[in-house]
Amino acid sequence: MIPQEIIRRKRDGETLEADDISDFIAALAKDEISEGQAAAFAMAVYFQGMSRDETVALTLAMRDSGLVLNWNDIGRPVADKHSTGGVGDNVSLMLAPIAAACGLAVPMISGRGLGHTGGTLDKLQSVPGYDIMPDEAKFRKVVAEAGCAIVGQTAELAPADRRLYAIRDVTATVESVPLITASILSKKLAAGLQSLVLDVKVGNGSFMKEPAEAETLARSLVEVANGAGLETVALMTDMNQPLADAAGNALEIENCLAFLSGEKTGTRLETVVLAEAAEMLLAAGVAANHDAAIAMARQALASGKATEHFSRMVHALGGPADFCERRQAYLPVAPEIRPVVADRAGYLSSCETRALGMAVVELGGGRRRASDPIDHRVGIDRILALGTKIEKGDVIARIHASTPSDAESAMAAVAACYSISDEEPAKSPVIIGRIG
């Protein structure tokens, strides 16, 4: 295998053979490909694209660059969910224990925040003692005992993806659909899943702003995943406003526990969680139809079993045994809590969701650089949904900040994210489409 020949052929728009892709990725994982060659390959793919078969080959090669887990001894269907990222999107925190309570095994490999979007691992690190990077033996033990484990990508899983992503991040090739597809799916395939549900976000708070862009990515993910032998369905969901009524790490853990306790019924968040739970249960074959799957998920919540599985997961991964019962004693609290008030009466008509997410980053709840520490206390909560009728002076959100000056800045930034109109805006569906 001559790396520059593979790069040249892709640069010139040729279709690469699966063996060529496999050899290139194997060499990349062994540091036998230079950063310049990897960057050139990524740029060639960015401009020339890849066919479905090429993308399947790339995904499988990246999967096989490291450890591939096997769950044949678990005795339950093995399933997972992945979101492309948004603001106030804490669905994974509730979805994993709901699915576990319904009889699934959920070995969920999650990530940190990226740009304006929150990261599931950052949220879980709000919980004292929670180990986001257990070794394989502990990971398996937690999945077996709690039914679910939400952890980070270890060095052994898809190492070629980790190296290629770092290069893409600094060479303006992140947005390539084949490379995004292979990056997401290689890690999921390495986790040994039998089925996968994808949540592809659409709107001004997501990486895919337009429905056509999101559909292109969703179709690529579904087609490649199924081509690689992983049964997959994708839901396209709205991200033109925060999904939950909280954005920020500890605040989203609090929101998760409130949801599991039945305090968030009738919300957009509930719609997405139940829809994705139903897709997981249907794909795993434990529900006969959509209505039965929704009923199972609702029962897992109402019975308290979903909360029990969340609690078992937290404790098994090093968190307090009584975390769910005494969360106020454990979750960090910001010293400054300030209201954002409406300057006029009317209806909340639009939200600059990305800017709201960046307000959380500015408060210290996200990272400007990979090495930045996270302040788990800070963020925004009590966020009103679009379409809410308000009076002048009503609270539309609350700021949680570490200093008075940070609070003042965030109050102004969040207020500027919202438009208020005299007429009630048309309601937008939270689930835009399904691709199976």
| Per-residue pLDDT, 16 | 97
Write down the pLDDT at residue 10. Answer: 97
Q: 79-316 maps to which CATH number?
A: 3.40.1030.10
Query: Would residue 83 show up in a list of annotated catalytic residues for this protein?
Result: yes
Residue 436 has a pLDDT of 87
- pTM score, whole prediction: 0.90
30 is catalytic: no
Is 372 designated active site?
Answer: no
- Answer whether 3-63 and 79-316 agree in fold: no
The CA distance from 77 to 95, in Å, is 15
82 flagged as catalytic:
yes
SS3 188: helix
Q: Which of 81, 315, 376, 377 is catalytic?
A: 81
> What is the four-CA torsion angle of 259, 265, 268, 270, rounded to 10 degrees?
50
CATH for 3-63 is 1.20.970.10
Instruction: Name the residue ranges covered by the structural domains of the chain.
Output: 3-63, 79-316, 333-421
pLDDT at 209: 85
138 is catalytic: no
Q: Of 120, 126, 206, 353, which one is the catalytic site residue? A: 120
The pLDDT value given to residue 166: 82
Query: Is residue 120 among the annotated active site residues?
Result: yes
Q: Which of 10, 82, 201, 338 is catalytic?
A: 82
50-56, Cβ contacts within 8 angstroms, sequence gap of 24 or more: 50/16, 50/178, 51/15, 52/220, 52/223, 52/224, 52/227, 53/15, 53/18, 53/227, 54/15, 54/16, 54/18, 54/21, 54/178, 55/178, 55/181, 55/182, 55/220, 55/224, 56/224, 56/227, 56/228
Residues 25 and 178 sit within 8 Å (Cβ to Cβ): no
Angle at 82 between CA 76 and CA 87, to 5 degrees: 140
- Pick the closest to residue 56 from 5, 10, 17 (CA basis): 17
3-class SS at 128?
coil
Asked if 51 and 14 count as a contact pair (C-beta separation under 8 A), the reply is no
Length of the chain: 436
From the list 112, 188, 312, 315, the catalytic residue is 188
Output the pLDDT for position 405. 97
User: From the candidates 63, 116, 162, 187, which is the catalytic residue?
Assistant: 187
The topology under which CATH files domain 333-421 is Aldehyde Oxidoreductase; domain 3 (3.90.1170)
Angle at 202 between CA 200 and CA 204, to 5 degrees: 140
Q: What's the pLDDT at 54? A: 97
- Is 350 noted as a catalytic residue in this protein? no
pLDDT tens for 165-194 read 888 877 888 789 999 899 989 989 999 999
At residue 193, the pLDDT reads 94
pLDDT at residue 352, rounded to an integer: 96
**Which residue is catalytic, options 22, 55, 59, 83?**
83
Catalytic residue among 63, 163, 168, 327: 168
pLDDT by residue, tens only, the chain of 436 residues:
899 999 999 999 999 999 999 999 999 999 999 999 999 999 999 999 999 999 999 999 999 999 999 999 999 999 999 998 889 999 999 999 999 999 999 999 886 655 566 688 999 999 999 999 999 999 999 999 999 999 988 878 899 998 998 888 778 887 899 998 999 899 899 999 999 999 999 999 887 888 998 999 999 999 999 999 999 999 999 999 999 999 999 999 999 999 999 999 999 999 999 999 999 999 999 999 999 999 999 999 999 999 999 999 999 999 999 999 999 999 999 999 999 999 999 999 999 999 999 999 999 998 776 667 889 999 999 999 999 999 999 999 999 999 999 999 999 999 999 999 999 999 999 999 999 8
Identify the active-site residue in 80, 89, 131, 238.
80
pLDDT number for residue 103 = 97
